[in-house]
Amino acid sequence: MTFHKSYSAMLLLATLAAFIISHSPSRAHEATPSIINMALNGTEVTLSIDTNLEALVAGVADETNTENDAEGEKEYLRLRETAPSELSQDYAEMRPTFDPTLGLSLDGTPVELRYLDHSIPPVGDPDIARISTLTYSATLPAASGTLTWDFPSDYGDSVLRVFLPDTVDPVIADYVASGATASVDLDNIAPQTTGEVVWDYIVAGFDHIIPKGLDHILFVIGLFLLSAHLRPLLMQVTMFTLAHTITLALGALGYVNVPGNIVEPLIAASIVFVAVENIFTEKLTAWRPFLIFGFGLLHGLGFASVLGDFGLPTAQFIPALIAFNIGVEIGQLAVIAVCFLSVGIWFRNKPWYHSSIVVPASAAIAIMAAYWVLERTGFIA
């Protein structure tokens, strides 16, 4: 029995450690997707890239790349407090290597991009990413064919929005995961179908949980640890889902807007609370579902912030909103399924389950989340 206890605890802790190390979530910056606004007018193309320029210059835009973590984060934090003129100089030094990596091609043939201009806002709150705009143009050899945009994985996720002359809303708004490409059929440009929008935003919602939402993953694992049986777990997950659906909708509609530097530390604090409560109790308390509901409201504000970065198509607002939420739920259910298959079905009824699995795993979660609280409130860099 001692062997099984030790093995099961190590298994769960190793899983948590693997998530932490491989996804490196403790970075100081938000994983803000770049917005690629592509305006088409015959054979002329104008690209406006709204991006976190500091993250690009520091080499930390792709949160899955951990090779440059320590030095990159230090440089990133320095750049956040630099004047636009200094950041502009850093960008100018970067451009000879940056510009050639931006890929635009027509039917497989590369199209030359010409740098036009860039705009950098003044220094504001260093805890909030400022969004700079980089502008390029290109002339296509023809006004027909398949136009492909390639935004390298080093620059993280992006959203490609395609505009036609005299249009206010984009005819295409395509979420592009890190390292992927997006294509536009110039012979048949039409607004995305509801099915295409739904699929794009389901993928975006799932991607925000797995692999990029380690804080949300740890919160769900915290719920699972104290309630490894289906009924109490479903009750908690239902309360959590209902709550974050409410604030996700209100945030996406613009009725609620809470800055990320307030929401993100509170989300981390909610993880600490759940993990610490797991350590000191073995049963689901009467107040826990209501606390979970409150925490779900916080997490929903975080989801709304991410969805705001992607942007919602005006003509397909409701389907996109519902699809993003579905993607989030699929991600959460996937986390729960992994927990059940790796730990729950084997050890949840063992007398030593709480002391040998719940306590050490919850302690690891609490320590990581407490670090996030300190980092997100600026006490540590």
Do residue 135 and residue 283 come from a single domain? Answer: no
Query: What's the mean pLDDT when you consider all of the chain?
Result: 81
For residue 270, pLDDT beyond 70: yes
For residue 241, pLDDT beyond 50: yes
**Residue 200 belongs to some domain of the structure:** no
Do residue 97 and residue 237 come from a single domain? Answer: no
Give the pLDDT confidence of 137-184 residue by residue, as tens digits: 999 999 899 999 988 888 888 888 888 887 777 888 777 877 788 888
Q: Which of 193, 221, 254 is the last residue of a domain?
A: 193
**Percent of the chain having pLDDT more than 70?**
86
pLDDT for res 67: 58
**Residue 203 belongs to some domain of the structure:** no
- Kindly list the distances between the CA atom of residue 277 and the CA atoms of 283, 290, 298, 352, 363, in Å, as whole numbers in the listed order: 10, 14, 18, 17, 10
Question: 165-191: string of b/e by CB count within 10 Å (b at 16+)?
Answer: eeeeebbbbbbbebeeebebebeeeeb
Do residue 102 and residue 75 come from a single domain? Answer: yes
Using pLDDT thresholds of 50, 70 and 90, give the confidence band for residue 309.
Answer: low
Across residues 290-311, what is the average pLDDT? 77
Using pLDDT thresholds of 50, 70 and 90, give the confidence band for residue 21.
Answer: very low
For residue 250, pLDDT beyond 90: no
For residue 273, pLDDT beyond 70: yes
Do residue 276 and residue 217 come from a single domain? Answer: yes
The whole-angstrom separation of Cα 242 and Cα 229 is 20
Do residue 6 and residue 100 come from a single domain? Answer: no
**Residue 185 belongs to some domain of the structure:** yes
For residue 257, pLDDT beyond 80: no
CB 317 within 8 A of CB 198: no
The whole-angstrom separation of Cα 156 and Cα 147 is 21
Rg, the chain, Cα only: 22
Do residue 135 and residue 258 come from a single domain? Answer: no
pLDDT for res 31: 59
Q: Is 1 exposed, middle or buried (0-12, 13-18, 19+ CB in 10 A)?
A: exposed
Question: Whose CA is closest to 18, among 268, 207, 211, 271?
Answer: 211
Do residue 45 and residue 189 come from a single domain? Answer: yes
Domain that holds residue 83: 34-193
CB 160 within 8 A of CB 172: yes
Question: Which tokens go with 367?
Answer: 């320590």
The whole-angstrom separation of Cα 162 and Cα 223 is 41
DSSP structure class, residue 145:
S
Across residues 312-329, what is the average pLDDT? 81
**Residue 230 belongs to some domain of the structure:** yes
Do residue 146 and residue 59 come from a single domain? Answer: yes
For residue 40, pLDDT beyond 90: yes
Do residue 176 and residue 276 come from a single domain? Answer: no
What are the two backbone dihedrals, phi and then psi, of residue 369, each rounded to the nearest 5 degrees? -70, -35
* Pick from 24-33, 41-50, 169-178: least confident: 24-33
Give the pLDDT confidence of 54-78 residue by residue, as tens digits: 888 888 877 665 555 667 778 887 8
**Residue 198 belongs to some domain of the structure:** no
The whole-angstrom separation of Cα 300 and Cα 306 is 10
**Residue 199 belongs to some domain of the structure:** no
Does the global pTM surpass 0.75?
no
DSSP-H helix ranges across the chain: 2-23, 53-58, 69-80, 84-98, 194-209, 214-226, 230-252, 260-280, 288-310, 317-339, 345-347, 353, 359-376
**Residue 366 belongs to some domain of the structure:** yes
DSSP labels for 255-272? S----HHHHHHHHHHHHH
pLDDT for res 247: 86
**Residue 204 belongs to some domain of the structure:** no
Number of domains composing the chain: 2
Do residue 181 and residue 89 come from a single domain? Answer: yes
Q: Which of 193, 226, 244 is the last residue of a domain?
A: 193
Do residue 60 and residue 16 come from a single domain? Answer: no
Do residue 92 and residue 19 come from a single domain? Answer: no
